[in-house]
Amino acid sequence: MHMQDNDITLEGMLYRKNELDEGGRKSAARSWRQYYTVLIGPLLNFYKDKKDLQSYLSACPPINVSQGMCEVAADYVKRKNTLRLRCVYVFIYCLHDCSYYKL
């Protein structure tokens, strides 16, 4: 994929945690992981760091957020500033950033 800087809507470091996988099954890998995250169109892309973005080495498959729903995860008390992203096929991700203003 060849992208240009003007294709990127938003980018920065973000923590991600999978809660549910496809079909509503509890995810086997539910620990928090930090990624350099880039929103390009409707796709939320995850990279180990900014250098991997420049080399197009994604850390995991992108999330299509075009029909997803994002809300503040008020019930998640372990980390402040956490959002819950619900996707079409019942994937649920928690996204966390230490800075409230970025969210």
pLDDT category at 21 given cuts 50, 70, 90 is: confident
| Among 32-36, 45-49, 83-87, the least confident range | 83-87
Cα 2 from Cα 76, distance rounded (Å): 37
Cα 7 from Cα 15, distance rounded (Å): 22
Map residue 99 onto helix, strand or coil: coil
* pLDDT, mean of residues 49-73: 90
Domain 5-96 has CATH 3.10.20.340: no
pTM of the model: 0.79
* Per-domain boundaries in the chain: 5-96
Residue 72 sits at the vertex; the CA angle it makes with 66 and 73, to the nearest 5 degrees, is 110
